[in-house]
Structure 1
Amino acid sequence: MENKTGKYFKYAIGEIILVVIGILIALQVNNWNELRKTKSEQATLLKSVKQDLMSDIDYLKEFIKKTDSNFNILNEQSQYVNSISYSKDSLIHFLKKEINVISVGFKGFNNNTYESMKASGKLDLFDNILKEQLYDLSIPQNATEETYKTFRDDYYDEIEMLAASYPIPVPHSFIKNTPENDFIWDNVNRKDLMLKLNSWGSVKANFCRNNLRNFKNTLEKTKVVLKIMEKGND
């Protein structure tokens, strides 16, 4: 009986050890699977953020290029309008045919992945350095976009005020500048015309200058963050 009891005891201990080993193996396998899933999700998110940054860089370069071109046209037209030989008829012709009221539209930054990660708490999948860089980038992005909207609204107000006094060629204008409508420009007050034109041009110039400065700074910061991400994958 003692021998049988000893064997049963040893057998029970062996069974317990096997169960414990099985549990430990299962836990380890589960940890490996979770780690693999985490790394896979991290890689997917990193790739998505990089694509957002690269898309922003391409878009910002094009936006800055168009804004710079628009600003140059405005400066050239300012010199043209300020020439000594510029008569009232020339000013009217400028407003009817040559004024460029179009501004470069901004569609927004490609930061959907970052904002989604913040909301879901998955930003913690990144190391502290990258999290800080992405946060630091979000600050000028938000400031640049808000400033853009403020200056854009001011500029739209100027176009509205100018168009309220003179039928300048704006998109979807109801009254077109045709020879039949020349009577609209009869008895134009040169002083009033110059003051409104000056106000419009000054606001547009500030709009362009601020866009060029702010978006260039944000572009450089975006390049820095992308470089850090690419370096981290080396």
Structure 2
Amino acid sequence: MIKFFRKIRQRLLSENKFSKYLIYAIGEIVLVVIGILIALALNKQSNIKENNKLRDLYITQLNDEVDRNIDALNYHVDWSNNILREIDSLRNIVINKDYDNPKLLSKSHALYVSYHFKPNMVTYENLKFSGDLKLFNDLKIRNSISNAYHSFNKIKGVEEIDREAKNGFFAEYFLPYSKLIDMSKSSQNFGKDVIFENMVITRTTLLSQNIREYVNSIEALKELKTTFAEFQHDN
């Protein structure tokens, strides 16, 4: 093809048809430019398709990750509510000064047990650190992703406060005054002082905060799933 065009140019020059040669040369340049633009457009279109495929794959993986986090959070809500019911029994005992109630010892473990939420974030971390978050040019989706995964930070914060309070109480109260293997052999004064009462109130408050953050995170994750569904429906 290049030789063909070269022969035409050479023939025009040999025939002293410079004006026609100039027009032809300009036309050839225009054709080359058009060819380049078409190639760039096709390449851009191909890149868009590949990016959309990758974006849709991320949505599928994020949806799966969101489902696993929702399941885990629902479990933590149920677990925390069960512990709260145990602590509520202790609170009634302390308020009524029913210190001979066997539940004072049997349910006191609720003041130091814990079960911390460990979020699934592999897909989100890959999305964030690879720079592929730019694939989501829809601001609503990006905000929903950010809100959902940042909600885990609040959970971590309240769980950390609960952990510190629980560990401090365990070290300063349970270890000196209780016999963990057989609580019936604990100190006779166990559970009968203001320190124990304060811990009952503190743990109730902290666990309630944990549950609120679990629920808030569940709502943020569900909102993210809804946003994904709306986006896929529109696209």
TM-score for both structures, normalised by structure 1? 0.76
Tell me, in whole angstroms, the C-alpha distance in 2 between the residues paired with 1:85 and 1:131. 54
Tell me, in whole angstroms, the C-alpha distance in 1 between the residues paired with 2:33 and 2:66. 49
Partner of 2:6: none
Cα RMSD, aligned residues only: 3.2
Tell me, in whole angstroms, the C-alpha distance in 1 between the residues paired with 2:191 and 2:41. 81
- Deviations 1:100-134 (CA, angstroms, capped at 9, x unpaired): 24534123333443344333432222111111222
**How does 1:49-68 map onto structure 2 within 5 Å?**
49-68=62-81
Shift of residue 212, structure 1, vs aligned partner = 1.5
Q: CA 1:107/1:150 → structure 2, altered by over 3 Å: closer, same or farther?
A: same
Tell me, in whole angstroms, the C-alpha distance in 1 between the residues paired with 2:162 and 2:209. 8
Partner of 2:44: 31
Tell me, in whole angstroms, the C-alpha distance in 1 between the residues paired with 2:225 and 2:36. 43
Contact in 2 for aligned 1:50/1:226 (Cα 8 Å): yes
Tell me, in whole angstroms, the C-alpha distance in 2 between the residues paired with 1:152 and 1:221. 24
Q: CA 1:103/1:83 → structure 2, altered by over 3 Å: closer, same or farther?
A: same
Query: Which one of 98, 105, 119 corresponds to residue 109 of structure 1?
Result: 119
Contact in 1 for aligned 2:155/2:214 (Cα 8 Å): yes
Query: Which one of 119, 123, 148 corresponds to residue 133 of structure 2?
Result: 123
Q: CA 1:49/1:85 → structure 2, altered by over 3 Å: closer, same or farther?
A: closer
Shift of residue 221, structure 1, vs aligned partner = 2.1
Aligned with 2:174: secondary structure? helix
Partner of 1:99: 108
Partner of 2:228: 229
Shift of residue 76, structure 1, vs aligned partner = 2.5
Tell me, in whole angstroms, the C-alpha distance in 2 between the residues paired with 1:192 and 1:20. 87
Q: CA 1:85/1:143 → structure 2, altered by over 3 Å: closer, same or farther?
A: closer
Contact in 2 for aligned 1:152/1:207 (Cα 8 Å): no
For 1:207, the aligned partner's letter is L
For 2:116, the aligned partner's letter is F
Percent identical pairs in the alignment equals 19
Partner of 2:53: 40
Q: CA 1:211/1:123 → structure 2, altered by over 3 Å: closer, same or farther?
A: same
Contact in 2 for aligned 1:159/1:200 (Cα 8 Å): no
Q: CA 1:208/1:123 → structure 2, altered by over 3 Å: closer, same or farther?
A: same
**How does 1:1-234 map onto structure 2 within 5 Å?**
4-6=15-17, 9=21, 12=25, 15-80=28-93, 86-87=99-100, 90=101, 94-95=104-105, 97-101=106-110, 103-126=113-136, 127-169=138-180, 176-177=181-182, 182=185, 185=186, 188=187, 190=189, 193-234=192-233
Gaps of 5+ in 1: 170-175
Shift of residue 227, structure 1, vs aligned partner = 0.9
Aligned residues: 218
Contact in 1 for aligned 2:91/2:197 (Cα 8 Å): no
Shift of residue 14, structure 1, vs aligned partner = 6.0
Partner of 1:172: none
